[in-house]
Structure 1
Amino acid sequence: MNDALPEPEPAAPAAPADAHEPAAPAPLGVGRELTGHLGVDAHLERLAEVDHLPADGHLEVYEDVHRGLRAELTSLDAHPAPRPYDNRS
């Protein structure tokens, strides 16, 4: 009977050091069209910032743009304050 242990299998070659590094930021190539509303267009233009950020930085920009667009939409529902000469009795 042979009590010798089997030879261990050779270890897999080590992966290069950069194999698990995140990819560099790259533009998504999504076009943005002007809406004609300056406030909305300014917020939408901010979306271009994510083209130069790593993925973990996108959320902050998206949330900020979302807040800004909601504020613009809410402002459309606001009634303008009455002017003094509009309240004639």
Structure 2
Amino acid sequence: MSDSIPGPTPEAPEEAAAPAAEAYDPAAPAPLGVERAPTGNADVDAYLERLADADHLPADGHVEVYEDVHRGLRDTLTALDARQGPPAPQPSPSPSYDHRS
């Protein structure tokens, strides 16, 4: 027998605490992981990047993003169709022939 009083036993080292797994919610927004390649047109690239905003929204919020991107792309393409630079020169009238000279 021992005259010593047993003290508190040292606690076992905690196992590596695994990060708490978040509850899976199939209805929660999730990124689609679609990569967007640059087009070389800054305006178009900005609108395509805007599509990433839909990754963090519920499905009913996607419509607003898609409509905004569609409107911006349509406006950008319309601007590309507009004539750039000064107006084309008008053909000069043909010289009239004066038969009286």
Of Structure 1 and Structure 2, which has the larger fraction of its residues in helix?
Answer: 1
Corresponding residue for residue 47 of structure 1: 51
Q: Deviations over 1:7-58 (max 9, x none)?
A: xxxxxxxxxxxxxx87111001111110010000000000000010000000
% identical equivalent positions: 70
TM-score (norm 1): 0.66
Corresponding residue for residue 27 of structure 2: 23
Q: What SS does the aligned partner of 2:40 have?
A: coil
Q: 1:81: how far off? A: 4.7
Corresponding residue for residue 81 of structure 2: 77
The one-letter code sitting in structure 1 at the alignment partner of 2:41 is H
Cα distance in 2 for partners of 1:64, 1:47 equals 9
Q: What SS does the aligned partner of 2:64 have?
A: helix
The one-letter code sitting in structure 2 at the alignment partner of 1:42 is A
**The one of 40, 61, 66 aligned to 2:65:** 61
Over alpha carbons, which structure has the higher Rg? 2
Corresponding residue for residue 42 of structure 2: 38
Q: 1:73: how far off? A: 0.5
Q: Deviations over 1:39-84 (max 9, x none)?
A: 000000000000100000000000110000001110111112528x
Report how many residues are paired.
67
Cα distance in 1 for partners of 2:41, 2:86 equals 24
Q: Which runs of 5+ in 1 are unaligned?
A: 1-20
TM-score (norm 2): 0.58
